[in-house]
Amino acid sequence: MSKIITSNRRRFREIRKRPTKSLTIEGFLKSKETQNSGSFKQYSSSIDEFGLLLKKKFGLTVTEYIEELLIAAKDDDITNDVRDIKQSFWDYLGLIGRHCNVCNEQGKKMIRRNGREFYGRCYHCDGTKKKKRAASYGTRLNYMSRIDVFLRYFGIFNKIDEKNVKVIKGRKPKGKRKSLSKRLLLAIIDNTVKPRRKKFWQFLAQSGVRDTEGLKLKKCDFVFIDSNGEAINSEHGFDRIRVRIRAEDGNKMRVERDTFVHVELHDYVLDLLRKKGPNDYVFHDKSLKTAASDEVSAFVYTRNKMIKNGYVEMAEKKPEDTQYAITLHTLRSFFISKANRIDDSSFGDAIAGHDENMKAVYDRLGPKELLDLWKKTEPLLSLSADIDSLTDELEERCRVLTDEISNIKQENDIRMKKALDEQKRIFVQEIQQREAKLYDKIFKLMNDSDNQD
């Protein structure tokens, strides 16, 4: 009986794995669309790129290639074929000048700006139909992962071991973490146009909030607190404004955390809050999608403007040469670099939402302690001219202390090396003396033995 059951289970698994003619690319994308629209777009873009490679390499569409693989899999081992196409796709994504899959035949794409939709020049290829940059290492990993899911959907992996189709990716190039100086931050804020955007970017730099998190903030997320860090019901007599970052999409770690509004922005934020309803977005009056697109576009415009005006830092790129080192997301690095200089060296990372540091800080701090640490950071985060001297003095003290620590470390390393060398010399000398005495004893014993003979 058990043999029959085992046989039926095996047969059921084989039937379940067997691809059917009803499986289509449209059906696959529709299944992803039910998850969320972002997932649909990501998979659609990955399949488009994959299709461009197949057309270039074999002259086949994606559907035709899948059908060819499935036919070959009935009689032959397709492991090498799958591994080769995956390796080719990885290499293809790293090419500059590959065919653009974003725009139409005229090199234009749909652009949404200020609630309007129109066709404009594709920024991926500048209307040339050839992409200006290679895909970054992270993007290539994401594309490869989606294509694996796509091939698995059609049953391509049913008869092969996935361990045997891994591609050679090489190591991801890593650069030095790019911090943002106060001078450059002020220049970025000064070079953007809209007053509300200037304040929003200042808020990002002085709170450690990600741009997507900042755009999602509603009036109900801003809480007035007293000097003990406890919430109060009115703005009258408040000490600081605490901001709750909700654990939702846009919050990378999906962990709720708190930050604060810098004192330099109190009046501006108070004015905004008075005009808003409890569930209204604070820093914009648009849809999230439009607001996010507008902020990115504004930063691109600001960067290009600054590059023309001689700010060479804005033109610097990451080691892969696919992305700029300074982006809208980098604004919060100003906060992290400053806040990490106070008593608790992980405070900046914790407020910014870096998971391990968050746990280390929040698990041991109450509202009052958290507020006190925040107040210590505010002078370091100031953008006002009247306390520039204080900020400069603190930064100079930090620089001097850092140099002193570095010098002491170098001196200690030299002393340690000398001490180890001396200990090694003494140890070798002792070994040599012991060896000499041992050989003397051996030779004496040998002489005594010869004399007895």
**Per-residue confidence (pLDDT) for residue 224, from 0 to 100:** 95
Q: What is the pLDDT of residue 16?
A: 42
Q: How far is CA 167 from CA 24, 80, 137, 413, in A?
A: 26, 11, 13, 43
Long-range contacts of 36-43 (CB under 8 A, 24+ apart): 42/142, 42/146, 43/146, 43/149, 43/150
Q: What domain range is 54 assigned to?
A: 16-95+134-165
- Residue at token pair 């060479």: 312
Please count the CA atoms within 13 angstroms of the CA of 255 that sit on its side-chain side: 14
CA angle 93-96-100, nearest 5°?
70
Structure tokens at 59: 């002259």
In whole angstroms, give the CA distance from residue 11 to residue 18. 11
Specify the DSSP class assigned to residue 1: -
Do 351 and 277 fall within a single domain? yes
Q: In whole angstroms, what is the distance from residue 85 CA to residue 150 CA?
A: 13
Cα distance between residue 295 and residue 215, in whole Å: 9
Strand pairing class (257-260; 240-245): antiparallel
> Phi first, then psi: what are they for 437, rounded to 5°?
-65, -40
What is the chain's pLDDT, residue by residue, as a tens digit (453 residues)? 333 434 444 544 444 444 445 688 888 888 877 766 567 888 888 999 999 899 988 899 999 999 888 888 888 888 898 999 999 999 999 888 888 877 777 777 777 766 677 777 777 777 788 887 788 888 889 999 999 999 988 888 887 887 888 888 877 666 666 668 888 999 999 999 999 999 999 999 999 889 999 999 999 999 999 999 899 988 888 999 999 988 766 555 567 888 999 999 999 999 999 999 989 999 999 888 889 889 999 999 999 999 999 999 898 887 766 678 888 888 888 888 787 776 555 666 667 666 555 555 545 567 787 788 788 888 888 887 555 555 556 556 666 666 677 677 777 778 888 888 888 888 888 888 888 788 777 777 777 766 665
- Residue 416 and residue 267 in one domain: no
Strand ranges (E), 33-84: none
Question: Is 1 inside a domain boundary?
Answer: no
What's the rounded Cα separation, in Å, for the pair 268 and 383?
15
Q: Evaluate whether residue 401 is within a structural domain.
A: yes
First vs last C-alpha separation in the chain: 87
Q: Does residue 313 sit in the same domain as residue 449?
A: no
Three-class secondary structure of residue 59 per DSSP: coil
**How many domains are there within the chain?**
3
Q: Are residues 258 and 200 in the same domain?
A: yes
On whether both 207 and 295 belong to a single domain, the answer is: yes
In this structure, are 43 and 155 located in the same domain?
yes
In a domain, 299, yes or no: yes
Residues 222 and 366 in one domain: yes
pLDDT at 448: 72
Contact residues for 80 (Cβ-Cβ < 8 A; gap 6+): none
What is this structure's pTM?
A: 0.60
* Token couple for 174: 């890593």
pLDDT at 423: 84
Q: With respect to residue 283, please indicate whether it lies within any of the assigned structural domains.
A: yes
Final residue before a domain boundary, out of 361, 383, 405: 383
The pLDDT, as a whole number, for residue 17 is 47
State whether 60 and 76 are in the same domain.
Answer: yes
CA 381: distance to chain centroid?
Answer: 23
Neighbours of 126 (CB within 10 A): 14
* Domain assignment of residue 406, yes or no: yes
| Residue 111 covered by a domain | no
Coil, strand or helix at 254: coil
Count CA atoms within 13 Å of residue 291 on its CB side. Answer: 18
Residue 326 neighbours by CB distance under 10 Å = 24
- 27 Cβ neighbours under 8 A, 6+ residues apart: none
Shared domain for 259 and 375, answered yes or no, is yes
Name residue 261's amino acid: V
Instruction: Judge if 273 and 305 occupy the same domain.
Output: yes
- What 3-state class would DSSP assign to 158? coil
Among 368, 383, 398, the domain boundary falls at 383
Distances in whole angstroms, Cα of residue 124 to Cα of each of 137, 212, 407: 17, 22, 47
Q: What is the pLDDT of residue 437?
A: 81
Q: What is the CATH number of the domain that holds 300?
A: 1.10.443
Whether 40 and 186 share a structural domain = no
Residue 34 belongs to a domain: yes
Q: Which of 6, 15, 90, 81 is nearest to 46 (CA)?
A: 90
Q: What is the pLDDT of residue 267?
A: 94
Beta bridge partners of 218: 281
Residue pair 292/286 in contact (Cβ under 8 Å)? The answer is no
Verify that 191 and 144 share a domain, yes or no. Answer: no
> Residue 407 has what pLDDT?
73
**Does residue 351 lie in a domain region?**
yes
